[in-house]
Chains A and B, each alone.
Chain A
Amino acid sequence: MSRRHSVNRPPTPDVRDDDEDDRPKEPTLLEIVNIKLIESGEKERLMELVRERLVECGWKDEMRALCRAFIKKNGRENVTVDDLVRAITPKGRASIPDSVKAELLQKIRTFLVSVAH
């Protein structure tokens, strides 16, 4: 019996021949910032802060309820993490309270400024 994997990983990209001649691929700005966030520990702090805020305002409960409804509808043996992510992301992004969004943006802005100097 073939079972769906819970998390779909994209296949490892094949090494292409032209890479050996050209310079190595440029990391995107987002990747650079992500590395700096992780190295400085700021990502961990930000994540903790946002998680706490989203629990306080009931956002997490809303998302958990959406997940449960989806699972109930589709059967709990058939659901993958990817399915759930796809199911809750639109509502999840839209229902972030403005205060939480503003607080997070402010902290990111501060971090980017500190990294740039």
Chain B
Amino acid sequence: MSMSKEDDLSSNSELLSDVFQYLLDCIIVDVASESHRIARLGLDRNLDEEEEELRLSADARARTSETCHSSEANGKYIVDIFGQTHPPIANEIFDCMNCGRSIMAGRFAPHLEKCMGKGRKARLKSTRSSTASQTNR
């Protein structure tokens, strides 16, 4: 070998960077090889865009259904797609057009049953005979 040890030292800085580049290139090849293997063996679940779309929408559906279930089971309110909650009983108040009383919207139907005499337990402000004929079905 014609190169002496002193030559090693004198061309040191170039050698240093050459060795550095060489090691770096080895590592880059390793990473590229690993990614190549994963891609070719189909081990990367999300590589296909369509697959990922399907997976994301399935996840989203699962998440909304679990929110629905949890609110029905636990809390009082159901959350809709706009994030709004509605109380289980509608609480807007207005006046009944039959009797003129202030009624809560959610209680309006049962009120009307009694108010207009159509329900089973409704009573009209009338004689007992007419009430009996109406409620007897």
Contact = CB atoms under 8 A, between A and B. Distances in A.
Interface of A: 6, 26, 29-30, 32-34, 37, 43, 46-47, 50-51, 54, 60, 63-64, 67-68, 71-72, 76-77, 79-81, 84-85, 87-89, 92-93, 96, 101, 104-105, 108-109, 112-113, 115-117
Q: Majority SS of interface residues in chain A?
A: helix
A71 B39 contact: yes
B85 interface: no
Interface residues of B, number: 36
Interface string B56-87: 00000000000000000000000000000000
A81 B33 contact: yes
Given A51-B27, A84-B32, A85-B29, A68 B44 contact: yes
Contacts of B27: 47, 50-51, 54
Given A68-B44, A84-B36, A63 B28 contact: yes
A27 to B, nearest CB: 8
Contacts of A108: 16, 19-20, 23
B20 A29 contact: no
